[in-house]
Amino acid sequence: MIKVVFLDRDGVINIEPGHYTYELENFKIVPKLFEALNVLKDKDYQFIVITNQGGISKGVYDHDAVKEVHIYMKLKFLEAGIDLLDIYYCPHHSVNENCICRKPDSQMLEKAIARYEVNKLHSYFIGDSDRDILAAEKVGITGVKIDANNSLINYLNQID
């Protein structure tokens, strides 16, 4: 079994500008993110992104836009020496449909836990909203809530 730090995307990995981030020119990495992830990597954590992308359901952008941003994000991770195990995203939004993948529901986490044989007792979900923490609690993972756009380096003391 592996130890994983699950990461919300907008506000944790990249700066949350107050509207949907789906264009590369608006995708800016939060300062010192990779410094923090390298500390966690040295503790044998692996990384999976779990993100709601409800703008797809609302017609603001499409799957291709999300995939383009995620390819770019993976490249930035690789350049920093961080392997990104996987990315899960929910394209739904509660204003248009119900689903069990959109956080605070937990299907994305459940899939990742099963696929990668994640040790839930030694894994964390880092997010900037209550829905991230609720999703973590539903699957028995410790949630760490951070302030949006704040460096993860400031929260490492909450992760063993």
Give the structural domain span for 55.
20-41+51-82+93-106+147-160
Catalytically active residues, by annotation: 8, 10
pTM above 0.75, yes or no: yes
Positions of E strands within 8-149: 45-52, 84-90, 124-127, 142-145
Residue 72 lies in a domain: yes
Task: Give Cα 91 distance to the centre of its chain.
Answer: 14
Residue 125 lies in a domain: no
Q: Give the tokens for residue 124.
A: 């964390």
Kindly report, residue by residue over 97-145, the tens digit of the pLDDT. Answer: 889 999 999 999 999 999 999 999 999 999 999 999 999 999 999 999 9
pLDDT at 104: 96
Q: Which residue, 21, 129, 14, is CA-closest to 66?
A: 21
Check: CB of residue 151 under 8 Å from CB of residue 32: yes
Q: Please check the confidence at residue 95 and state whether its pLDDT lies above 90.
A: no
Kindly report, residue by residue over 11-69, the tens digit of the pLDDT. Answer: 999 999 988 999 999 999 999 999 999 999 999 999 999 999 999 999 999 999 999 99
pLDDT at 18: 87
Residue 35 lies in a domain: yes
- Beta strands 84-90; 124-127: pairing state: unpaired
Residue 36 lies in a domain: yes
Domain count, the chain: 1
Check: CB of residue 146 under 8 Å from CB of residue 30: no
* Secondary structure class of 3 (helix, strand, coil): strand
Q: Band of the pLDDT at 87, cuts 50, 70, 90?
A: very high
Residue 111 lies in a domain: no
Residue 65 lies in a domain: yes
pLDDT at 98: 87
- Please give the helix or strand (H or E) that residue 5 lies within, else none: strand 3-7
Q: Please check the confidence at residue 96 and state whether its pLDDT lies above 90.
A: no
pLDDT at 94: 84
Cβ contacts of 71 within 8 Å, gap of 6 or more: none
The dihedral through the CA atoms of 107, 62, 84, 30 has a sign that is negative
Residue 152 lies in a domain: yes
Q: Give the tokens for residue 43.
A: 């503790």
Residue 160 lies in a domain: yes
